[in-house]
């Protein structure tokens, strides 16, 4: 069971690392539909991994010697890579959100200004009134 659990974790974390690459590419290309789909898939995968991670922690508590296993080192390195990808994406997303927030604020201010605009005089129908 130890080997199967470790291999399953490695497979799942490799999929997450791959998905982060796809998410990063979708962000750079501004493919918001693809991004939404990838994020939904990522959430599903993360839910699957939660149970596996709990089992892995139990396994490591029972067998501390597994910490020196090559596959466990690979798993930890993969987790570290994913953490780095997450940090990079977080910065990119914060920047995109700041730009979007600024543009939305400008639109709202413009809308407010336009709502307050009223012409000084009413020009509608004046010529017809004067010609009679």
Tokens of 70: 């090559």
For residue 67, the model assigns a pLDDT of: 82
pLDDT in tens, 66-103: 888 899 899 999 999 999 998 988 888 888 888 888 88
Structure tokens at 107: 């639109």
Show me where the domains of the chain are located: 2-111
- For residues 43 and 50, the answer to whether their CB atoms sit within 8 Å is no
For residue range 12-54, list pLDDT tens digits in order. 999 999 998 998 888 888 888 888 898 899 999 999 899 888 9
What CATH class has 2-111? Answer: mainly alpha
What's the pTM? 0.70
Tell me what pLDDT residue 26 has. Answer: 87
- 28: DSSP letter: H
């Amino acid at each position: 069971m130890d080997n199967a659990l470790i291999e399953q974790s490695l497979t799942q974390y490799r999929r997450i690392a791959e998905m982060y690459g796809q998410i990063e590419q979708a962000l750079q290309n501004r493919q918001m539909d693809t991004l939404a789909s990838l994020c939904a898939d990522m959430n599903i995968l993360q839910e699957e991994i939660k149970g596996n991670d709990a089992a892995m922690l139990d396994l490591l508590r029972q067998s501390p010697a597994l910490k020196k296993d090559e596959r466990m080192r690979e798993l930890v390195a993969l987790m570290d890579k994913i953490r780095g990808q997450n940090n990079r994406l977080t910065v990119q997303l914060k920047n995109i959100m700041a730009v979007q927030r600024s543009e939305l604020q400008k639109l709202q201010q413009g809308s407010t200004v336009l709502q307050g605009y009223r012409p000084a005089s009413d020009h509608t129908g004046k010529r017809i009134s004067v010609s009679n």
